[in-house]
Amino acid sequence: MHFRSAVRLWCFCGSVVVFSLLAHSQAGQLGAIHVDSQDSKEGVRMSLKPSTLPPPSPEAVKLLNELVAANGVDMQPTTPWHVELTYDEFDEDGDNVHSGTVEEFYVDAKKYKKIIKTDGFAQTEVADGTDLYRDGDQSWPPQSTLQALKEVLSPLYAANSRSDSVPDKLDWTVGKTALSCVVLRNGRVISENGLPKFCYEPGTTILRYTRGAGWNETVYNDLFQFEQRYVARDTEVTHAGKPFLRIHLLKVESVQQLGGSMFLPPAGSRPLSGVITVPSAVLMSEYLVNRPSLPELPRGVRGKVDVRLLVDKDGHVVRAEAIDGPKELWKPVEKYFMKLQFRSFLILDRAVEVESTTAINIQ
């Protein structure tokens, strides 16, 4: 989730299907899987509607190429950096439920220091080049905290092998501002709400850049150039059109040299080792690579089943244990989760075993 990752703009904007993972839902629901056992075929049919899109205009291709050039997406950072941000998290009623700060000193993927302070969580994480240490809270940081840092430091879409995305022009309104945008279209997006959008003000390189997946959208405002990239001072993440995160970038600066004392392990801390416990939202939204069909379910049984997972270093589920919910659903749900496949979970580029507790809703 840093500038170190080379990214390309061609992407697949997550489609909304029946077996969809809620990557950016409101707090408390992150990572849950929602299933409609009666009408799954209809849900998939709607999301896979064939595309009848016109070819991209030359102007759209030109604008997209300008964005790629302006953001130097294939460049690696040449000097360490220091970044500091604040964020506020909102619930579905618009109430500010959490606030926090994140500060990071970064050299490379194996050497960094991250300081997180929220209203309910405090942690200093240090990677010294070989091992990862934590001082303070030993659990995984809140998903909203991780997302805030990722939104700021990785504003471009992740690389994707899909080749059927095509650029097209779209007029888009943000608040009272009408913008001319380039969008990436493919046949799996239901509405323009979730299309990747790169929005320009006439005569400028870029004014606002938005990205979305289904009901979620991130808008980058007040962009400025940092190390040949564009970074936003203010970022807004909405869920179903309602505020979810508001992030303000306090500081981002290049640092010519960071002393070795910066990355000394915190006193009394031990390297992270053994089985790592990670939030369901992290595992399900960022590491899941397949979504198998549900096995046959008992008729008329509905409800949420909580499941404890153990995933090996290769991403295979080696244990799926139902721990709560209608017991008639436990066996088929466990069978379903045993078929999931994940990318290997890496700690400083080393694959580790992970455990997590997630949920599936049969409605």
pLDDT digits (tens, 9 = 90+) for 25-34: 223 333 444 4
Ordered by where they begin, the domains of the chain are 1-22+40-271 (2.50.20), 276-362 (3.30.2420.10)
Strands 177-185 and 197-200 come out as antiparallel
pLDDT digits (tens, 9 = 90+) for 41-51: 332 222 333 44
Question: How far is residue 48's CA from residue 46's CA, in Å, rounded to a whole number?
Answer: 6
**pLDDT the model gives residue 344:** 94
- Which DSSP category does 319 fall into? E
**What residues contact residue 346 under an 8 Å CB cut-off, 6+ apart?**
352
Other C-beta atoms lying within 10 Å of the C-beta of residue 216: 20
**pLDDT the model gives residue 79:** 81
Question: How long, in residues, is the chain?
Answer: 363
**pLDDT the model gives residue 355:** 96
pTM over 0.85: no
Token pair belonging to 99: 């606030």
Q: pLDDT means per 10 residues in the chain (363 residues)?
A: 28 22 28 40 31 57 61 59 95 94 92 95 94 92 88 60 64 71 65 66 57 66 74 85 92 86 90 91 87 83 93 96 94 94 92 94 84
Paired with 179 in beta bridges are: 172
**pLDDT the model gives residue 84:** 97
**pLDDT the model gives residue 145:** 92
DSSP readout, 254-293? E-S---GGGGPPPTT-----SSEE--HHHHHHHTB---PP
Question: How far is residue 359's CA from residue 127's CA, in Å, rounded to a whole number?
Answer: 32
One-letter amino acid identity for 329?
Answer: L
Question: How far is residue 247's CA from residue 359's CA, in Å, rounded to a whole number?
Answer: 29
